[in-house]
Chain A
Amino acid sequence: MKPFTYHRASTLTDRPAGATIIAGGTNLLDLMKHEVMTPKALVDITALDLNRIEAHGDGLRIGALVRNSDLAADPVIRRDYPLLSRALLAGASGQLRNMATTGGNLMQRTRCPYFYDTRMPCNKREPGSGCAAIGGVNRNHAILGASPACIATYPGDMAVALRALDAEVEIESPAPRQVPLSEFYRLPADTPDVETVMRPGEIITAVLLPAPAGGQQRYRKVRDRASYAFALVSVAAIIGMENNRIAHAALAFGGVAAKPWRDPGAEALLIGQEPSDTLFGRAADLILQSAGGYGGNDFKIPLLRRTLIATLRDATGMEATA
């Protein structure tokens, strides 16, 4: 770890220029130990008053410092946004969720093993050095939206639920601005080191949830062990049914791209239709139209398809029969 200065902020603006924010530290500390990130200055924001969940119009405003475990256990979240609660509980471990914050969770870096290994070339860590994952071990890499510069995924679960919930990120810039989650993350293109629309000096102050979406809400995460592993693929689904037809659908996917993936075309295809495996398969095919694997992660294409079908069967109340 490189030496750094440490400042504990007492107000939102009490942040030294150029200082990197540390919240729960569950990701940043590891990155600093490996010298993947080498901030010269840290500003600890955990003393700020950003840990409330409060009403906001018809929806909710979740402070950036609300801990993942508190958010998942919040009675209003559990009642009105069960998708969010489930996604949070599918992530990391109890101990990590106790430390991890809402803002930090959104900003967590990829788990590409080459990104963490400073011996290896990595365009995200060191722009222009190359991408070791291409031609390497890439079991957990992206099948959608990747570029020849980087095939890493955004690894988190919470943001996948937030994407399906049409959440917005509130940023202090210093004037507050709100960015829909759909626009918050950036695909790698030629600059995989730029992961979000956050600009230097900005801080996430909250996540805004619109009015409850209702319907059936599912978060289905498939991983290499039963708990405490990042998603191979995950599906966040909100499905509203009327007269045995799909009236509302919001679907977001994790573990497949550098951002929570969403495909309006696939949702439109479902609307007004009776649930069936064929219909769900067509939706999956549409989403996966542009998908491509890199060897180790080829399986994610059929796995995403199957997981989507299973999740939609469940959310639409289809019988679990052959």
Chain B
Amino acid sequence: MTRHLKVDAPIPDSPLDHMAQGVLGKPVSRLEGPLKVTGRATYAAEARPEGLLYGVLVQAAIPAGKVLSIGDAPGAMVVIHDPRLIRYAAQGMATEGPTAGPDEVEYMGQAIAVVVAEALEAAQAAAQALQVTYEAKDVPVDPEAVEPERPEDKQSATGDLDRAMQDASHTLDQIWHTPSHTAAAMEPHAATAEWSGDTLTVRAGYQMLATSREQLADAVGIKPDQVRLLAPYVGGGFGSKLGINADSVAAAIAAQQLGRPVQVVMTRQQVFDLAHRRSETRQRIRLACDTQGKLTGIGHEALVSNLPGVSFSEPVTQATPFTYQAAHRQIVHAIARVHRSCAGSVRAPGEAVGATVFECAMDELAETAGIDPVELRLRNIPDTEPCTGRPFSSHKLAEALREGAARFNWSDRRPTGQRREGDWYIGMGVASAVRVNSLIESRARVTLQADGRAIVETDMTDIGTGSYTILGQIAAETLGLAVDRVEVRLGDSDFPPASGSGGSFGAASSGTSVYLACAEIRSQIAALIGCDEADLTLQNGQVRTGNVSRPLDALLTGELTGDGHLEPGKTEDTVRQATWGSHWAEIAVNRWTGEVRVRRMLGVFACGRVLNEKTARSQCLGGMTFGLGMALTEAMAHDPRDGHIVTRDLAEYHIPCHADVPPLEVHFLTESDTYVGPLHAKGLGELGICGAGAAILNAIHNACGVRVRELPATPDKIIAGLQS
């Protein structure tokens, strides 16, 4: 039986608060952790089916034009130049494979063929020796050198911002630039494909199986039910594995043609070229406020880029309409069509760069207005969503700011440039954290076996986030079992389709479907023992109602199965759902070299119910580290002539290393959001990054008076602003 829930109304009383097991929220260690640290969790590139062949992707060496001919590859079995090869990775949740046709090159590095051989080395050598001729075409690669598109539905204005700017007591009007970013997941994209008759099985790194399955079927030209995807372990995604990439398609086509399993693993350089990048952004922020620091005007203009015809555009201004109150508002969103690699979702698309820049602007306004930056934010928190007037599902920004200020000893912050230790200027900075929240349709099946053990099955993925563990905890809590009596099976498209991992919606969405499946089983247990589901207490394998208490396995005569099906409903529209928090940083700037060292950071977050204190904290630590990288180190450099990515390995693209990251502190506010389903849990994965970099950049200014508006704040940017 399926228990279905469409979240049309708030659920004030969470049934999970009435469960007896007491395991939900606890810092349970990763269920699959031991497998991973002992190398027994096999990733896609480690699959070794009988008869495996190795495929290596061949990449275009021109920024745009046509492939005229592809030569032979001595030493390899075959060069496959199949029109079904995709031009770029599919966007998350797309249901079609992206434009096919490797003959049309749209960006440098595009996959145009795959070379297959018995040995990886032979395939690599043959791919490198391959002669390709092109007819090259001149194309623009600089987003600021073309006339951008301004889609009507992405512009909005209320009141008269120009007027507000003229009439204001204090204003801010500045431009920021953020560079292209890459997800930089540890596991490179890899796929192992095998056909059995006309059924295709692909083991690969995916974040969302249900839609990736449709994409792959569409690209290869078969039906979705002929495709089985397996992604039990995924070494990080951060957006880069939301949709299928060239590895899957190439492996599938090659395996089909050769009648043997084929594996395609991208090199690190190929991951840089072929995984979606986060678009670089140019952001102009205008702010106007009165003498008291009350905002009267907010303007946020974004310029992003993507390839012609690709619908995704970095939603830079996503949170701007509802974060702060102001009567006069304007949003401008422009898209430059240039031939850099394809842009898509990377680590909190939108707020990661949008909220970060906006929070830098708030800091500048606070300085201009002579108001403490925490206070300025507190004075501008709206009661209801500006523009629409909808209520917030819950709103913890003020509490996050107050709590953070106390915990971080914000009162120790000195005026700009006033704190020095030896050659180091010391500064403190703050930023609000905000991220939109959503649920995605999700299904799960739970089987309670006669021996009282439960099995959870859903095509949800665990991309290193802790899905196995929290889903196990939800089932254990609802069914009254110890966590080790629950087996969680994920990452198989034969299982009921879940939300997948992305956009911070995974835990709440798939978690709710697992809860619903378990609730269905609870009602079956209640029927067995002859009571109402509401009167049932399940704990440690015991079933209790009134004075009756029986062991679960004694009660069961066979297995019980429950299906759970969650659908987002009206609360998506009736309220504004978001997660909130605050970021705090204390940093040091070397007065000679301009090096910045982060000394401590604090993140205070409200994400509804915390499902597992440990995995939740890890998510936030990762997010804050991304923020640090965005502020200080990460930049993908494009060649100015052909747009290709120049910094395309992890020695040149600087993600923060251990020495960059100080002890990070994470504090969760107690919150339960009644509009997001029975779990009262919201997304968390991305909140940690949204604004974190701004706290650091604002701290740099507090330390040494330098505003860096071209991210990242590498030493050259700092010394340019320091006096000699």
| Residues in A lying within 8 Å of B, measured CB to CB | 1-3, 33, 35, 111, 113-114, 117-119, 132, 135-137, 139, 220, 222, 224-230, 232, 299, 302-303, 306-307, 309-310, 320
- Across the interface, do B652 and A113 meet the contact criterion of CB distance under 8 Å? yes
- Residues in A whose Cβ lies below 8 Å from that of B647: 113, 137
Bound-complex Cα distance A229 to B655 (A): 10
Interface residues of B in 621-654 (CB under 8 A from A): 632-633, 637-641, 644, 646-648, 651-652, 654
B contact residues around A33 at 8 Å (CB): 124
> Are A225 and B656 interface neighbours, CB within 8 A?
yes
B715 on interface, CB distance cutoff 8 Å: yes
13 residue pairs A–B, Cβ–Cβ below 8 Å? A3-B125, A111-B651, A113-B647, A119-B108, A132-B639, A135-B640, A137-B638, A137-B639, A225-B654, A230-B651, A232-B715, A299-B719, A307-B593
Chain A nearest Cβ from B349, distance in angstroms: 24
B658 nearest in chain A by CB position: A227
- Determine if A303 and B716 form an interchain contact, defined as CB atoms under 8 angstroms apart: yes
Q: In this complex, what residue of A is CB-closest to B635?
A: A224
> Interface residues of B, CB < 8 Å — how many?
39
Q: Is the CB of A224 within 8 A of B61?
A: no
Total residue contacts A-B, CB cutoff 8 A: 92
Q: Is B657 in contact with A225, judged by CB distance below 8 angstroms? A: yes
Pair A225/B633 contact, Cβ less than 8 Å: yes
Instruction: Tell me if A225 and B641 are in contact (CB < 8 A).
Output: no
Q: Does A119 contact B724, Cβ atoms closer than 8 Å?
A: no
Q: Contacts A119-B61, A303-B719: A224 and B654 contacting too (C-beta < 8 A)?
A: yes
Of chain B, the residue at the smallest CB distance from A309 is B592
The answer to whether B633 and A1 touch across the interface, beta carbons within 8 angstroms, is no
Interface residue? B151 (CB, 8 A): no
Please provide the chain B residues from 707 to 724 with a CB less than 8 Å away from any CB of chain A in the complex. Answer: 714-716, 719-720, 724
Which chain A residues lie closer than 8 Å to B608 at the CB level? none
Apart from A119-B644, A135-B640: 13 A-B pairs, beta carbons within 8 A: A3-B125, A113-B648, A119-B108, A132-B639, A136-B639, A136-B640, A137-B639, A220-B593, A224-B715, A225-B659, A230-B651, A299-B716, A307-B593
Q: Are B657 and A310 in contact (CB under 8 A)?
A: no
In the complex, the answer to whether B592 meets A310 with C-beta atoms within 8 Å is yes
Chain B CB within 10 Å, residue with most, of A139, A225, A307, A309:
A225
Q: Does B641 contact A299, Cβ atoms closer than 8 Å?
A: no
| Chain B interface SS verdict (over half) | loop
> CB within 8 Å of A: which of B355-392?
none
Q: Mark B652-695, 1 if CB is under 8 A from A, else 0.
A: 10101111100000000000000000000000000000000000
CB of B149 closer than 8 Å to a CB of A? no
User: Please, how many angstroms separate the alpha-carbon atoms of A310 and B715 in the complex?
Assistant: 14
Q: Are B593 and A225 in contact (CB under 8 A)?
A: no
A306 with B592, Cβ < 8 A, contacts A227-B657, A299-B716 known: yes
The answer to whether residues A306 and B641 also contact, given A136-B646, A224-B714, A225-B633 and a CB cut-off of 8 A, is no
A113 engages B646 (CB within 8 Å): yes
Return chain A residues, CB-CB under 8 Å to B590: 310
Min CB gap A107→B, angstroms: 18
Q: Is B403 an interface residue (CB 8 A)?
A: no
Contact status B659-A299, CB under 8 Å: no
- Interface of chain B residues 596 through 642 with chain A (CB within 8 A): 597, 632-633, 637-641
What's the minimum C-beta distance from B141 to chain A, rounded to whole angstroms? Answer: 12
Chain B residue at minimal CB-CB distance from A222? B593
- Interface flag for B128 (CB, 8 Å): yes
The 8 closest A-B pairs by CB, nearest first: A310-B592, A299-B716, A226-B659, A227-B659, A320-B422, A137-B646, A119-B61, A137-B637
Closest to B714 in A: A224
CB nearest to A305 among chain B residues: B724
**CB-contact partner of A303 in B593, B646, B651, under 8 A:** B593
A299→B715 CA distance, assembly (Å):
9
Question: Given known contacts A3-B125, A310-B592, is B716 in contact with A226 (CB within 8 Å)?
Answer: no
Min Cβ gap A25→B in Å is 16
Please measure, in the bound complex, the distance between the C-alpha atom of A117 and the C-alpha atom of B269, giving whole angstroms. 10
Kindly list chain A residues whose C-beta atoms are within 8 Å of the C-beta of B651.
111, 228-230
Contact assessment for A310 and B423 in the assembled complex, using a CB-CB cutoff below 8 Å = yes
- Expressed in whole angstroms, the minimum distance between the Cβ of A118 and any Cβ of chain B is 8
Is B72 in contact with chain A by the CB < 8 A criterion?
no
- B657's partner among A3, A136, A226, A306 (CB-CB below 8 A) is A226
On chain B, the residues within 8 Å of A227 by CB distance are: 657-660
Report how far A111 CA is from B647 CA in the complex, Å. Answer: 11
